[in-house]
């Protein structure tokens, strides 16, 4: 004897509040990451290609790396600011006084004069920075000809 009434279970409507929350989080995430990605993409610098490029997983752990862009005319750009060699030296000395093992990434344009890169390396050495990396890109491979 079963006295209970059989009720069909109605499907619950889709919850929109969690979906909207997730979408807002995604928008915020992409907005923040695109802001930080602009630091390397703002400059119109074409870095040289290298056959062997060391992929550095630890690069993403070094949040305080300084990216120094050297344009083809010798202009030095750090964090969107154009600096002279003397201003760069002062900035690097101030940073190394607080952080002894400061990392620097040099992004020199492939058509720039090599002397500009040497001048920036000299400023890094005078400031006591020896953890220097050069930014390169993978060479473009040509499609095989049939």
Cα distance from N-terminal residue to C-terminal residue, the chain? 82
User: Which pLDDT belongs to residue 134?
Assistant: 85
**DSSP E strands, the chain:** 66-70, 76-78, 81-83, 103-108, 131-134
pTM greater than 0.75 (yes/no): no
How large is the average pLDDT for residues 119-125? 92
Write the pLDDT tens digit of every residue in 61-110: 445 778 898 888 888 988 878 999 999 999 999 988 888 888 888 888 88
For the domain made up of 44-134, the CATH class stated in words is alpha beta
- Give dist(CA 97, CA 107) in Å, integer: 24
Give the strand order in the sheet containing 103-108.
81-83, 76-78, 66-70, 103-108, 131-134
DSSP one-letter string for 82-105: EE-HHHHHHHHHHHHHH-TT-EEE
Residue 72 CB-density burial (10 A; 0-12 exposed, 13-18 middle, 19+ buried): middle
User: Which pLDDT belongs to residue 41?
Assistant: 53
Question: What does the block give as tokens for 87?
Answer: 């201003």
Provide the pLDDT confidence category of residue 25 given band limits of 50, 70 and 90: very high
Greater confidence (35 vs 125) lies with: 125
HSE, CB side, 13 Å, CA atoms: give it for residue 86.
0
């Amino acid at each position: 004897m079963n006295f209970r009434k059989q009720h069909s279970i109605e499907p619950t409507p889709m919850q929109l509040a969690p979906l909207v929350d997730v979408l807002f989080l995604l928008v915020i995430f992409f907005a923040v990451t695109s802001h930080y990605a602009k630091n390397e993409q703002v400059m119109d610098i074409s870095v040289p290609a290298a056959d062997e490029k060391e992929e550095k997983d630890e690069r993403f752990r070094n949040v305080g790396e300084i990216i120094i862009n050297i344009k083809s005319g010798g202009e030095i750009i750090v964090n969107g600011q154009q600096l002279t060699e003397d201003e760069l030296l002062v900035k690097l000395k101030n940073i190394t006084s607080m952080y002894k093992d400061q990392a620097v990434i040099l992004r020199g344009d492939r058509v720039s004069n090599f002397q500009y890169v040497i001048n920036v390396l000299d400023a890094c050495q005078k400031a006591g920075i020896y953890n220097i990396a050069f930014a390169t890109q993978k060479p473009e491979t040509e499609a095989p000809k049939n």
